Amino acid sequence: MAKKVVIMPCSGIGKAYGEIGRQATYKVAESLRPEEVETECLARLMIDDPETKEKITNNYVITVDGCAKDCAKKNVEKTGKTVDKAMRTLDVFKEHRDLKPEGVLNLGEPGMKLADFLAEKLAEEVDSLVGKGE
């Protein structure tokens, strides 16, 4: 069976970056690349959930962190899995300086646009990974 891509956002609660990463992940998983992408709760990795660990072991993993603390990447790598691509929402904001979210969870139009740009980048990374094929 072809490997899929599991996208794991950090979902940080303290900054808007967390929600932007989450919204971008949902857009890719539900609209842009529904056949190739799956999601999984990052928190389940933290409790050593065997199904979650198996899923990330057997598939490609892209982590989407809000900032340089790289929590999603670190939590995935604690399981022994090396992430296939690590992305940061902060880097997308640097390319779209005019798009400032209106709140931490209620992003407003500019925040959702930023999520859309991030989703496009994620979709490109998904294409790159599944294009490798195994």
Site residues, other proteins (CB under 8 A): 8-19, 22-23, 25-27, 30, 39-44, 46-47, 49, 67-72, 74-75, 90, 93-94, 97, 100-101, 104-105
Distance, CA of 85 to CA of 16 (rounded, Å): 21
Check if the beta carbon of residue 65 is closer than 8 Å to that of residue 132: no
Question: Tokens for 17?
Answer: 């970056």
Which residue's CB is nearer to other proteins, number 112 or number 129? 112
Tell the smallest beta-carbon distance from residue 87 to other proteins (Å). 15
Tell the smallest beta-carbon distance from residue 42 to other proteins (Å). 6
Which residue's CB is nearer to other proteins, number 123 or number 132? 123
Residue 127 CB neighbours (<10 A) = 13
Which residue's CB is nearer to other proteins, number 4 or number 22? 22
Distance, CA of 104 to CA of 83 (rounded, Å): 27
Tell the smallest beta-carbon distance from residue 134 to other proteins (Å). 25
Distance, CA of 118 to CA of 123 (rounded, Å): 9
